[in-house]
Chain A
Amino acid sequence: MDTAFFTRGTVGVACAIAASFAFAQTPAASPAPDKNLGRNLAANCANCHGTNGKSVAEVPSLNGVPAALTIQKMKDYRDGKLPATIMHQLAKGYTDAQIEAIANYFAKQPK
């Protein structure tokens, strides 16, 4: 399920990056991809959701959550389909590709 979803997303990102490199002529062009992008961006979430998504308090844990579920929730927050106190504001800070990288990282973290 989410594996297929994520694979599709990854291919999309890879193509986008390849394309930007092919036409890169100036130093301001797209930077080299971050091999730890998911880990590094997921660390943005840890302040409220716990290190590697393992919450120690009321806010839900994200570790081991299937990637497709996290992706859907983030997009629903972003699009205003899920009511929230704060997540609708934070979700708007991330692109689809970034959300997918974060979701995939959390999915791989042990419960």
Chain B
Amino acid sequence: MTVINQTRRDLVKGASALGLVGLSAFAGGCATIGGNAKPKVVVVGGGFGGATAAKYIAMWSEGKIDVTLVERGDAFVSCPISNLVVGGSRQLADVTIGYGGLEKYGIRRVKGEATGFDPAKKTLALADGTSLPYDRLILSPGIDFMYETLPGLATGEAKSRVLAAWKAGPETVALRNQLTAMKDGGVYAIHIPKAPYRCPPGPYERACQVAWYFQQAKPKSKVLILDANEDVVSKKGLFTKAWNGQYKGLIEYRNNQEITDVDARTLSLKMSFGDDVKADVLNVLPPMRAGNIATANGLNNSNKRWCQVDWLTYESTAVPGVHILGDALQIAPAMPKSGHMANQHGKVCAAAIVELLTGGTVSQTPMVANTCYSFIDDKNVVHVASVHRYDPAQKTMVTVQGSGGLSAEQNALEGVYANSWARNIWADMLT
């Protein structure tokens, strides 16, 4: 699309000028155009953030706002619970849900790939050459991988030999197939990039799931966790207890394991310090940044990796009229990049947009909560939880003092709750 070819400064300048006019025009203007034209919201990305925002705008505006959801996939595939597909206790179908449940809210679904947007004309461009007009645009683009940091994974063939499998879908199944094809006595190695990355406890949960599978089927095999971070990023005590307990001798954890590249042919990691590390199944989570559409359109105004937003509306601080949700955000302190958080972003953003487009007042006191369950095996689960409120002085989200915490220890009751959580959050976004 055309905006990309302008300099970023021009884009932002033009957009800011528009924003100044926009503020006053939105309050009365959009709601009254012609008396019958409804304000339009276009949402890009049908994951935890986008699908939730689409549903809640339609529901809370009671049909006063036209909502279109642009999604390239045929169905939603959940990252949460998908590590159990890697471990073999679930199938991909168990974490796949269609978008049909959103039809009853009057949400229009467009299957396609959004490529860019024109903030002056307020149109979203799709890969097929069509465009969609919007009054407010919501992007929930998730993450993309910084493969430029790992030249050895440049080709498609290399990426299929050394999987990330960090977006649930065909790669999840491909990783499972690599594990089932591996000989007993082999080594599965997972490399974790420096934080921030999507789903802080996810890599450690995956290591547990693979170890659980090895225990059943390949007891001579090993799981090697190579963490670029100084220490376990999330749920440390709970994970290390399992690694020193039921998975003793099966899982080895190494910290400060930075890599310079990956050799996909030999399935080995080039370490910043020390010898190459070779594995039989090599799973590399490359460093991550905001999804492509955000990066390509100048929304990644935090270290050129993540997107900054106004926490009252989730409106980009780079381009007015464009709201961003989920893992693509430069998060506030202690707010993890999780599906649960993205769902909560979606609701705060939905409430704000309904007010902005119907002449109301945006809440100045939003709150979000996070609940994150990790499976240690096929039944036992640990959680971390937190509650966050908007702090007007700091203009950011802060953890409510005294709230939140961890499981005392892994337990099967929370396994039931984790599955219940999944069914309810999937329903909350999709039905």
User: Can you name the residue of chain B whose Cβ is closest to the Cβ of A85?
Assistant: B414
**Cross-chain contact A92 with B402 (CB below 8 angstroms):** yes
B residues within 8 A CB of A85?
383, 407, 411, 413-414, 417
Contact of B403 among A37, A41, A51, A90 (CB under 8 A): A90
Q: Which residue of B lies closest to A46 (CB)?
A: B428
Q: A40: which of B343, B363, B393 is its contact (CB, 8 Å)?
A: B363
CB contact under 8 A between A32 and B367, given known A47-B428, A85-B407, A92-B400:
no
Minimum distance in angstroms from A66 CB to a CB of chain B: 22
Q: Which residue of A lies closest to B365 (CB)?
A: A34
Residues 32-52 (chain A) with a chain B CB within 8 angstroms: 32, 34-37, 39-41, 43-51
With a cutoff of 8 Å between Cβ atoms, the chain B residues found around residue A45 in the complex are 369
Which residues does chain A contribute within 8 Å of B393, judged by CB atoms?
A: 28
Contact B364 A32 (CB under 8 A): yes
Q: How far is the CA of A94 from the CA of B404 in the complex (A)?
A: 11
Minimum CB distance partner of A95 in chain B = B400
Contact (Cβ within 8 A) A50 B424: yes
User: Which of B340, B407, B425 has the largest number of chain A CB atoms within 10 A?
Assistant: B425
B340: nearest residue on chain A (CB-CB)? Answer: A47
Chain A residues touching B, majority SS: loop
Say whether B403 contacts A89, CB under 8 Å: yes
Across-interface contacts of B340 in A (CB, < 8 A): 47
- How far, in whole Å, are A110 and B420 apart by their CA atoms in the complex? 21
Q: Is the C-beta of A57 less than 8 angstroms from some C-beta in chain B?
A: yes
Q: Which of B365, B393, B400, B404 counts the most chain A CB atoms within 10 A?
A: B365
Complex CA–CA separation, A50 to B393 (angstroms): 33
Cross-interface CB contact of B368 among A44, A50, A55, A89, cutoff 8 Å? A44
The smallest C-beta distance from B403 to any residue of chain A, in angstroms, reads 3
How far, in whole Å, are A32 and B363 apart by their CA atoms in the complex?
Answer: 8
Tell me the minimal C-beta distance from B371 to chain A in angstroms.
Answer: 6
1/0 contact string of A86-109 vs chain B (CB within 8 Å): 100110111000100000000000
- Measured between beta carbons, the chain A residues less than 8 angstroms from B364 are 31-32, 34
Query: Which stretch from B126-134, B164-172, B272-280, B344-352 is at the chain A interface?
Result: B344-352
- Please give, as numbers and ranges, the residues of chain B lying within 8 Å of A43 by CB-CB distance: 56, 344, 347, 351
Chain A, Cβ-Cβ closest to B422: A57
Tell me, in angstroms, the Cα distance from A85 to B347 when the chains sit together.
Answer: 25
> Which A residues are in CB contact (< 8 Å) with B407?
85-86
Question: What 1/0 mask marks residues of chain B from 408 to 426 whose CB sits below 8 Å from any chain A CB?
Answer: 0001011011011101110
Interface presence of A56 (CB below 8 A): yes
Q: How far does the Cβ of A73 sit from chain B's closest Cβ, in whole Å?
A: 16
- A59 sits at the interface (CB 8 A): yes
- The distance in angstroms between the C-alpha atoms of A4 and B386, with both chains bound, is 32
Tell me the chain B residues, 374-406 only, with Cβ under 8 Å from chain A. 383, 385-389, 392-393, 400, 402-405
B412 shortest CB reach to chain A, Å: 11
Chain B residues in 8 Å Cβ range of A46: 347, 424, 428
- In the complex the two chains form, is B424's CB within 8 Å of A47's CB? yes
> B343: which A residues are within 8 A, CB to CB?
47
Establish whether residues A93 and B367, one from each chain, have CB atoms under 8 Å apart when the complex forms.
Answer: yes
B427 to chain A: closest CB distance in Å? Answer: 5
Indicate if the CB atoms of B400 and A57 lie closer than 8 Å: no
A92 touches B403 (CB 8 A): yes
Smallest Cβ-Cβ distance to B350: which chain A residue:
A43
Give Cα distance in the complex from A45 to B421, angstroms: 11
Minimum distance in angstroms from A81 CB to a CB of chain B: 16
**Interface residue B361 (Cβ < 8 Å from any Cβ of A):** yes
Judged by a CB distance under 8 angstroms, whether B88 is at the interface is no
User: CB distance A58 to B420 under 8 Å?
Assistant: yes
In contact, A86 and B371 (Cβ under 8 angstroms): yes
A34 contacts B363, C-beta separation under 8 Å: yes
Contact status B344-A47, CB under 8 Å: yes
| Closest residue of A by beta carbon distance from B368 | A44
With A28-B393, A85-B407 as contacts: A56 and B423 at CB distance below 8 Å: yes
Contact of A47 among B392, B411, B421 (CB under 8 A): B421
Bound-state CA distance A85–B343 (Å) is 22
Is B49 on the interface with A (CB-CB < 8 A)? no
Whether the pair B404, A89 counts as a contact (CB closer than 8 A) is: yes
Tell me the smallest distance from the CB of A96 to a CB of chain B, in Å.
Answer: 13
Minimum-distance CB pairs A-B, first 10: A93-B387, A31-B364, A93-B403, A57-B420, A34-B363, A57-B423, A89-B405, A58-B420, A93-B400, A43-B347
Binding site for B on A (CB under 8 A): 28, 31-32, 34-37, 39-41, 43-51, 55-59, 85-86, 89-90, 92-94, 98
Instruction: Give me 11 A-to-B residue pairs in the complex whose CB atoms sit less than 8 angstroms apart, sorted by A's number.
Output: A32-B361, A39-B351, A40-B347, A40-B363, A46-B424, A48-B371, A48-B417, A85-B413, A90-B404, A93-B400, A94-B367
With contacts A89-B405, A93-B386 known, what are 19 further pairs, Cβ within 8 A?
A: A34-B363, A36-B363, A40-B351, A40-B366, A44-B369, A47-B344, A47-B424, A57-B424, A58-B416, A59-B420, A59-B421, A85-B417, A90-B369, A90-B404, A93-B367, A93-B400, A94-B367, A94-B400, A98-B367
